[in-house]
Structure 1
Amino acid sequence: MAIDNSTLNDVLKSSGVSDGTSKPKTQTTDSNALGKDAFLQLLVTQMQHQNPLDPQENGEFVAQLAQFSSLEGITALNDTVTAIAGAMGSSQALQASSLVGRSVIVQNDKAMVDTTKSFNGQVVVPQSISEGKVTIKDKDGNVVRTIDLGAQKAGNADFIWDGKNAKGEVAPAGEYTFTATTTVEGKSVEMYTLLPATVTSVTFGTNGGEMMLNLAGIGKVGISKVQTIGI
């Protein structure tokens, strides 16, 4: 079976597909891509111009129709994925708006503290310890208070700071650093701290990137780093 080149070129041109010798029409998509409309036109033209004395086998037409069905399926799948991505973006925006102004718990050693009320934090204890402590320093690096953790099992150990210094005076509100340490085999070992922070704004990820939370006194933290979301 053969199709006249001029007939094939006419079909390609009418479908916006380049025949390699003439410039295709300007389109927003790839002009060399064979779309489903062009595919169907080529199939119909092929049937119209086949040699009646040597017609194409039915199996060959079935194979071409199967390719057409696959193309339709891929197009529908792309549309579905695009719709899902849009829905996820809307859901992420709704989630982000609800986080602004709320308190979250993140792994960090700094926090903005209102010393007029108690400050609650946690220490990640990697293994059972006989003793441990949390050292609190102000923004200038001066030790304000040391909290004794005592013996702790592996897991998260809670601690509370009442906002007062070692002299029993209320410390000024502001940024403080919390360092948790213990002793393992005679060596001082630092442990992670989980501290609360207030979400001031949210930055959406681009090109599928992670949403970032802007936390007061800390900066940007990925939402995957959040341990707990509070009030």
Structure 2
Amino acid sequence: MTTTTDTTSASSIYSQYGLKTDSTSTSDTSSTTLGKDTFLQLLVTQLQNQNPLDPQDNSEFVAQLAQFSSLESMQTLNDTVDTLSGNYTSTQALQASSLVGRTVIAEGDSATVEAGTGLSGQVALTSSTSAMTVSVYDADGNIVKNIDLGEQTAGTVNFSWDGTDNDGLAVDAGTYTFKAEATVDGEAVEQVTYLPSVVSSVTVGSTAGSFTLNLANGESVALSDVKTIGS
């Protein structure tokens, strides 16, 4: 017996031989998925119900066996990939959770400091400059400190703030904003700053390997955007 593939649906073939589908439909009740178990059941049923005077062609039977083997291999491969993806996500989650309580340096313009303490940050300088400064502002927007970095070449520029104001007095604990500017062709151009912050928690995303670090300063940053991980 031969089967038709152009106009006969899988569900009609199942009904012909009294078989049940191994999947449920979503919007269309006639749509089914041919799983490997149902495929094999259908193949056996075809053999049992073939016309003895006109048996199934050997080449067609071999072709169906090849389809079954291919289907089984594809499903096995899918299961393997799903397992590897799950293991990768679990490993990434463990690595991300180990960052809780540690300090990371990521793109941002604010940081929380304790009284009498400072911090070390970085500036992503886009082009060489003859003069570069990092200004520190308090929560009210007042300038606390001007850090002169002088002439710098393009690239990552490190800077440090000792936690004092322009008069040399220790500042109070709180959140401070940092603004870096470099003189390029006679104009002050704002630069991107990277500041340290403590990781307070980790949020797992909906996609594999997607994690968001929630920082102590109230900001959030993707794990992939972290530039440096400290102690």
Taking structure 2 as the reference length, what is the TM-score of the superposition? 0.86
1:55-204 superposed matches below 5 A: 55-204=55-204
Contact 1:2–1:51 (Cα < 8 Å) also in 2 = no
Q: Distance in 1 between matches of 2:123 and 2:109?
A: 10
Match of 1:99, SS state, is coil
* Cα pair distance change 1:189/1:10, threshold 3 Å: same
Structure 1 equivalent of residue 48 of structure 2: 48
Distance 1:94 1:7, change over 3 A: closer
C-alpha separation in 2, matches of 1:88 and 1:51:
52
Q: Is the partner of 1:153 in helix, strand or coil?
A: coil
The one-letter amino acid of 1:9's match is: S
Which consecutive residues of structure 1, in runs of 5 or more, have no partner in the other structure? 18-26
Aligned residue pairs, count: 217
- Contact 1:123 / 1:157 at 8 angstroms: preserved in 2? yes
Structure 1 residue runs of 4 or more that deviate by more than 4 Å after TM superposition? none
- Offset of 1:99 from its aligned partner? 0.3
Q: CA deviation at 1:194?
A: 0.9
Q: 1:124 to 1:115 in 2, by over 3 A?
A: farther
Shift of 1:96: 2.0
Contact 2:89 2:208 in 1 (8 A): no
Counterpart for residue 39 of structure 1:
39
The CA distance in 1 between the partners of 2:184 and 2:166, in whole Å, is 26
Judged with a 3 Å threshold, the aligned counterparts in structure 2 of structure 1 residues 87 and 8 are, in CA distance, closer, same or farther, namely closer
Q: Does 1:30 align with 2:21?
A: no
- Root mean square deviation, CA, Å: 2.2
Paired residue type of 2:46: Q
Counterpart residue type for residue 192 of structure 2: Y
Q: CA deviation at 1:10?
A: 6.5
| Equivalent pair of 2:137/2:143 in contact (CA under 8 Å) | yes
Change (3 A) 1:202 1:129: same
Q: Unaligned 5+ residue runs, structure 2?
A: 4-11, 26-31
Cα offset, 1:91, TM superposition? 0.9
Name 1:224's counterpart in structure 2: 224
Deviation of the 1:229 alpha carbon: 0.6
- Aligned-partner residue type, residue 144 of structure 1: V
Distance 1:131 1:207 in 2: 44
Tell me the secondary structure at the aligned position of residue 94 of structure 2. Answer: helix
Amino acid at match of 1:141: G
Give distance in 1, aligned partners of 2:98 and 2:72: 40
TM-score (norm 1): 0.86
SS at match of 2:55: coil
Residues 121, 159 of structure 1: 8 Å contact kept: yes
**CA distance in 2: counterparts of 1:72 and 1:184, whole angstroms:** 63
> Quick check: 191-200 or 110-119, which moved more?
110-119
CA shift for structure 1 position 183? 1.6
Maintained 8 Å contact 1:110/1:218: no
Report how far residue 208 of structure 1 moved.
3.8
User: 2: CA distance between counterparts of 1:181 and 1:187?
Assistant: 9
